[in-house]
Every structure is written in structure tokens, then in C-alpha cells.
Amino acid sequence: MEAQVKEEVLPMTRSCSGKRVAGGGCAVGLVVLLGVLSGPAAGSGMQDWKAALTAERTANEARIAEIEKQAPPVYADYQASQKAIEAHNASPCTATEDNPGACDSYNAEAESLNTTSGKLLAQLQAFKDEEDKLIARNDEITKKLNCVQLPTACTANSDCTCSNCCGTWDGTGKSGICQPTCDK
């Protein structure tokens, strides 16, 4: 049995939820807005979300740096496993009628090489998937930190270009103010 050569190369590389809610739902945004309008002391807690997002982005960047340190040795091991597979396949075994078990060790080696290569490839894929998710999340965080929703009049979430969160409190859903965020 020949070992399988893998040629895959991995580059390392709520809302108010559209519902109209009377007297609740987006009321937190209204309180935040009123805090801004009433002065710096009342709005001092508003920076907490920025600090939390900045801390999350920093932690994500640290994990990305860890991945970028951990992945290269795994990739080197993966490349070595591929060379071992190629060397294994370069000298095939042929069982004869009088010695049918002659290739048992060859086949066991092929299985071992395939298993090792598969585990390394799975580890590299896990690194890549995690890194991709962290990068995407950091992009979202950057967008949130760079986008400042002004408290403008709205009647639907789509009226709020930055936060996509229109908070209504009149019970009819016809009058609202864009909220900084819909996250609870």
C-alpha cells in the first residue's frame, strides 16, 4: 500500500432586532444617549464598551501572534512527513505468492505516515481556522470602534448607518433615535 501524498498548502495567513418594543428593548440606548446629553460624568460608563472591545482585540492579536509562532514548526513537520511519504512511495513493496506477508511492515509504515501527515494537516487547519476567526472578529471590532453612531431620528434599523440600531420607545415604532449599539 502506498502512502498518500497530500498536496494541500495552507496559507497562514441585538439588536433592537427590528422589533418595535414599547418602553423597553432599546431603552438602554436611550439612557446612554441621555448620559451623553447630560454631561461627561453621566456618560463616563460609556467608554466601558470601547475598553472591552480594545481589550478583546489586544487578546486576539496576542493569540494570532501565538499561532504564528506555533504553526511554522508544525508546517515544517508536515513538509517532512510529505517527504517521508514520497521516499516511502519511491521504493514500493511487492508481495510474492510464497511470501504474502512480505509487505506487512511496508503497509504499516504507510499507515503510520498517513496518520502522522493527517494529524499535522488537521492541526494546521485548526490554526488557520482559529486565526481566520480572530482576524474577522478584529475587523468587526475595528469597525465598531471607528464607527460612531450619531443620535439621529429614525424609524427603522436601516436608518442608522453605523449601528443599524433604531431604538423606539413610543409604542408605535414610528419615532426613535439611532442608538450607539444594540448589544446588551
For residue 133, being part of any structural domain is answered with yes
For residue 167, being part of any structural domain is answered with yes
Q: Residue 46's pLDDT is what?
A: 52
Q: Residue 2's pLDDT is what?
A: 56
Counting every residue written for the chain, the total comes to 184
For residue 142, being part of any structural domain is answered with yes
What does pLDDT average to over the chain?
77
For residue 121, being part of any structural domain is answered with yes
**Domain containing 96 — which CATH number?**
1.10.287
For residue 21, being part of any structural domain is answered with no
For residue 22, being part of any structural domain is answered with no
Number of domains in the chain: 1
Q: Residue 168's pLDDT is what?
A: 78
For residue 81, being part of any structural domain is answered with yes
Over residues 90-98, the mean pLDDT reads 90
| pLDDT: which is higher, 48 or 128 | 128
Flag whether the pTM goes above 0.75. Answer: no
Domain that holds residue 76: 27-37+46-178
For residue 2, being part of any structural domain is answered with no
C-beta neighbour count of 28 within 10 angstroms: 16
Place of cell 465598531: 144
